[in-house]
Structure 1
Amino acid sequence: MAGAWTRRSGGLLGCCCFLAGLCLPSLPAASSSSSASPRILTPPRGSKQFQFETPENHVMLYHEEGAPSVFVGAENKLFVYNFETNTSRTEPFDVTASPPDCRQEDSKNYLTLLEKYEDKLLICGTNACNPTCWNWVNDTKQARKGAQGLAPFGLDPNALVLIDGKDIYSTIKKHRYNGRIPRFRRIKGSTELYTSDTVMNNPQFVKAAMIKQDTPDNEKIYYFFREDNPDWPRNSAAPKIISRVAQLCKGDKGGSGSLSSSKWTTFLKATLFCVDEATDRHFNHLQDIVIVESPVWSETAVYGLFSNEWDYSAVCVFSVGGISEVFRKSHLKGYNGKLPAIRPGQCPGRDEMTPQETFRVADSHPEVLDKVKTQAVFYGKHHYQQMGVHQVQAADEASYKVLYLTTDRGTIHKVVLLPTGAMNVLEIQLFPSSAPIRSMTVDNRRNELFVVSTSAVVQLPLAMCKAYKDSCESCVLARDPHCGWAGDTCASIYDRGQHGNRTLLQALTHEVSPDICASSNHSNTKEDDTIRHENIPVPLHARYYLNCSVESHHANYTWIHNGQSIAHCSAGHHHCIHFIDNMTDDLYGTYSCISQEDWFNETLVTEDLVSSSPTTSKSKSLPPGNLAIKSSLSFWLGLLNMVAIATIIQ
């Protein structure tokens, strides 16, 4: 179902006069308005960050759950940041050797792997076409042997490594010139195996995970990828790219024949199908996967982030039990013969190997007919790229899932999965320059989010309650399970002890009652010191517009002039704007922007437009020669410039 809008969005505040006498809002400082700067323009309260000295186009984030520090692999260096001690260090990882035919763009040491292996931090890099690995021990690097398959020869977005105990799995080529067909290999630990060249069609790997099942012999590796759809272009209505989940048995020992002895014999793949039934939109392009484990293996959840051809996005949640059932029971696509006694995809016993006939059938028909299908739990008209998932226990003792989704504009959307549907409660702008987010991880022990961009690495609390205005109604209507009203402040669920053990007031499972805040006056329309109130000199016959920055995309907004409604904006706009094309005497006076969400009304902006002489206005805000120009061309030029500015800021 569609979780439609963010509660907070960016806005323009203040005012100046611009082209052709058209008055436009001016850019605010980060704290210019107590009407709640709707987007967090700087990292929110409680966050910390370390800036890179120079922009880093390649970064790789590693964070161990519960630790206060992060490691960031970059070009020719490793950053180590400790957010508790506020200390940092940079360790050089310079190129040690380079083949003579290495291309100039590959002649760097890009650190591409940072993972725990054998109780040490394993660090691997391209090392200028000569992949090399090190161990990080006692804050020092130690050279180690054997980097085949652990790092690519140059930056490769299709490189994927999975570490499970002593076993390592990889999609990276072991030799620089050993072919272009991507394979999924087991390169360390048990018998080395690789996938047949015909079971995947130009795959782009997304994520791999080891999934425990009912018995150790049935433990599976699931890996998720996109590939070219074999049904296209034969079927022009079919999508060009299709998303898949593949299964492999951890205990696979290869086949008994000469052609199968070094190949995975338990490989099967299925189509991942994510659909938003409310809009009948299908999402075929897998972007990211997050695994949320459960004590009951079949209830382990697989959160998939998908996009479609319009760059809209959706989140679908699959269960491991559902995926397993499809692989166990579905027919093989295109196969009409009798299945062998050992079914394709069935895990062999501890001391057994897959029979040759079973391998032959599975290798020639690797796709199951049934799809792994589910309905989207969240759908939005944004191009999301990465996802984090957190579970929080709210004041009502119920647990809620919270999604953190990165956009292609360098922001993070916080989406809560509520019983009434998904709700996008917050938009976070961590980096002022809208630098793209390269990596993000959720620490469920510390209740923190770690984010790295090209310019900085940031640690921020999952409970960002100061993003909501300090009123009971605003706090409760935010419907953020991390936050609740504690009598005089919007407080974190993790700080209940600091407020005299008072129960935090929340409303997450039902519509908010008008008397939830136990007040006879549920309106904040009266003017007070928290409302921005300005006298704005505007020349006669000038063009001017009033802007009300949208604070909640679940509210409606109305502009009032001298007590009369003159403009209305429904939920969904980033700004509620009222244009005055030609200022006349009867248009001077008081203008107020009022939001209404459910029963709660709030005055966000109040401006008094007052008359001024051209000379006064000119000296304060208008460029020379731009007073009261009435030609339609100048008006539309001014309007286009205004739209361009608003678009850039959005």
Structure 2
Amino acid sequence: MDKDGNFLQFRRKVGSRTNPTFISASWVKRKEDPDNDKIYMFFREKNSDPSPEADRWISRVARVCKVDEGGSKRFFQNMWTSFLKARLVCGFPEESLYFNRLQDIYVMHADNWRHTRIYALFTSSWNSTAVCIYSIDGIEDVFENSTFKGYDYNIPTPRPGTCATNSRSLPLATVNVVKDYSEMTDWVHSIQYRAPFYISSNNYTRIVVDQVRAADQWPSLLCFAIYTMCSFRKKLVFGFSEKISTVDLQRCQDYNDSCENCVLARDPYCAWSTFGCMPTIFCFMLYYCVLQSEQNIANRSKRETVSPTPADLGTVHLVPLGVPFYLSCPIASYHADYTWRHGHRRSPCLQMQSNCLHLIPVMTEEYYGKYECVSEEKGYAKVVKNYQLSKQLIPDTNTDMASAVAPQLWISLGMAVAVTTAAHAQITI
């Protein structure tokens, strides 16, 4: 709306923009130069190219000046004088393969307008979804330096699209270019350029980005590409045709047993305080957690292993001689190193998806005793799982029992490995 109360309109030109679908708009402020504030609009429109290989949709980014009040009453009345648009592309430029249907936009503003990021969600004609990231600086580079599509003459001064505090006084030559040749020749590419930031076979329709500063003051970026979403008190609400599900983004109570677990969980919404693992409270660094533990537990060194709670003292297995056996413990963090301890022996973990396995080919006397599955990360070690293997005495009348148990154990292990492998293959596909 201009200062006279008239609504400014997008000028439609037959053949240049067909059935546009508005997606989002954002006002990007320039604190040092407010007269050059821009409003960026994101939309998609049907492609006017009738060729069968052309995609049905084209995604666009457009901009107008915040101070634009439209043209003079004689020329371009009630129309933007600074409106420019460019094609927004996401995909694989070297293969000319693009995700052309823009679905949603999330703008991450920055103190320096040049660093403002645009997170865009696209879908494709082959039912895949992609996320591409753009910078306002890169978008501006196209609007300020590209030629105007279809315009073969000298570019007038001031350049079309320039912000003017009195837009009604702009020269007619400048306004006419905006009127008839508002599209830029160059395309707006993502920061990654060669490929999208993220690709999925899921049909996502909304995107939300959150940035939180961790205890070490480094920013963590979380990107949620989802079906439908509303956010309330750090919760995501997913809407499906048959149900609605919620996910609590703050699950700090799951890491409340120690400061080390709270910090090593790397949950950007949680931090350690004197009250435990709490949401959105500044936390001390990990090394302070360890020092604090040393003060509370006498003579405990940084690399000393934390024992499990009484409720997790372990599982006892009775195993006969001469049979194979295996132990398993869950992998809670892929940043940690997992080992098995048996007396003074240290054995590496055989990782199968989210489990750490320890295989015993044939039970002999030396394999009985206590086993600990230990995770170690940044000098902090913790017993995740422990077992006690004891000898199972078999009566002489059942000497064949051991030979019968062995295949059953290996069949169980083989099934576990097969299921894990199949699940991994399905996820990879």
Deviations 1:116-146 (CA, angstroms, capped at 9, x unpaired): xxxxxxxxxxxxxxxxxxxxxxxxxxxxxxx
1:456 has 2:244 as partner: yes
Specify whether residues 330 and 539 from structure 1 end up closer, same or farther in structure 2 by C-alpha distance, changes over 3 A only.
Answer: farther
Deviations 1:291-322 (CA, angstroms, capped at 9, x unpaired): 244576x3572341568999797674624x55
For residue 381 of structure 2, the aligned residue among 593, 597, 601 is: 601
CA distance in 1, matches of 2:409, 2:273: 56
Q: Is the 8 A contact 2:20 2:43 kept in 1?
A: no
Matches within 5 A, 1:364-403: 364=181, 366-369=183-186, 371=188, 374=191, 385=204, 386-390=206-210, 392=212, 401-403=219-221
1:304 has 2:119 as partner: yes
Matches within 5 A, 1:459-470: 460=248, 463-470=250-257
Q: Is the 8 A contact 1:387 1:404 kept in 2?
A: no
Query: Which SS does the other structure have where 1:438 is aligned?
Result: coil
CA distance in 2, matches of 1:591, 1:599: 21
Q: Please list every run of 5 or more consecutive structure 2 residues that lacks an aligned counterpart in the other structure.
A: 295-299, 396-403
For residue 39 of structure 2, the aligned residue among 220, 235, 249 is: 220
1:229 Cα deviation (Å)?
13
Q: Is the 8 A contact 2:59 2:89 kept in 1?
A: yes
CA distance in 2, matches of 1:631, 1:390: 47
Larger helix proportion, structure 1 or 2? Answer: 2
Q: Is the 8 A contact 1:195 1:263 kept in 2?
A: no
Specify whether residues 648 and 269 from structure 1 end up closer, same or farther in structure 2 by C-alpha distance, changes over 3 A only.
Answer: closer
CA-atom RMSD, angstroms?
5.5
CA distance in 2, matches of 1:577, 1:526: 18
CA distance in 1, matches of 2:405, 2:310: 34
CA distance in 2, matches of 1:326, 1:199: 19
1:637 Cα deviation (Å)?
5.7
**TM-score scaled by structure 1?**
0.46
1:600 Cα deviation (Å)?
1.3
CA distance in 1, matches of 2:417, 2:109: 52
Q: Is the 8 A contact 1:389 1:402 kept in 2?
A: no
CA distance in 1, matches of 2:111, 2:256: 39
Aligned to 1:535: 316
Aligned to 1:25: none
Matches within 5 A, 1:606-645: 606-610=386-390, 628-629=406-407, 639-644=417-422
Deviations 1:524-552 (CA, angstroms, capped at 9, x unpaired): 34454254511134577776543322222
Aligned to 1:558: 339
CA distance in 1, matches of 2:346, 2:18: 60
1:593 Cα deviation (Å)?
1.6
Which AA in structure 1 matches 2:418? Answer: L
Query: Which SS does the other structure have where 2:317 is aligned?
Result: strand
1:492 has 2:279 as partner: yes
The count of residues paired between Structure 1 and Structure 2 equals 394
Q: Please list every run of 5 or more consecutive structure 1 residues that lacks an aligned counterpart in the other structure.
A: 1-165, 168-187, 409-436, 497-503, 616-625
1:604 Cα deviation (Å)?
0.6
For residue 228 of structure 2, the aligned residue among 428, 438, 445 is: 438
Specify whether residues 228 and 350 from structure 1 end up closer, same or farther in structure 2 by C-alpha distance, changes over 3 A only.
Answer: closer
Specify whether residues 553 and 219 from structure 1 end up closer, same or farther in structure 2 by C-alpha distance, changes over 3 A only.
Answer: same
Deviations 1:271-305 (CA, angstroms, capped at 9, x unpaired): 46799xxxx9x996576432244576x35723415
CA distance in 2, matches of 1:649, 1:641: 12
Q: Is the 8 A contact 1:388 1:403 kept in 2?
A: no
Which AA in structure 1 matches 2:380? Answer: F
Specify whether residues 574 and 640 from structure 1 end up closer, same or farther in structure 2 by C-alpha distance, changes over 3 A only.
Answer: closer
Specify whether residues 395 and 593 from structure 1 end up closer, same or farther in structure 2 by C-alpha distance, changes over 3 A only.
Answer: closer
1:521 has 2:285 as partner: no
Aligned to 1:318: 135
Query: Which SS does the other structure have where 1:505 is aligned?
Result: coil
Which AA in structure 1 matches 2:107? Answer: I
1:590 has 2:354 as partner: no
Q: Is the 8 A contact 2:259 2:276 kept in 1?
A: yes
Query: Which SS does the other structure have where 1:337 is aligned?
Result: coil
Specify whether residues 406 and 388 from structure 1 end up closer, same or farther in structure 2 by C-alpha distance, changes over 3 A only.
Answer: closer
1:356 Cα deviation (Å)?
7.2
Q: Is the 8 A contact 1:484 1:491 kept in 2?
A: yes
CA distance in 2, matches of 1:326, 1:294: 20
Q: Which moved more, 1:201-210 or 1:339-348?
A: 201-210
For residue 267 of structure 1, the aligned residue among 79, 84, 109 is: 84
CA distance in 2, matches of 1:614, 1:649: 43
1:471 Cα deviation (Å)?
1.7
1:337 Cα deviation (Å)?
2.9
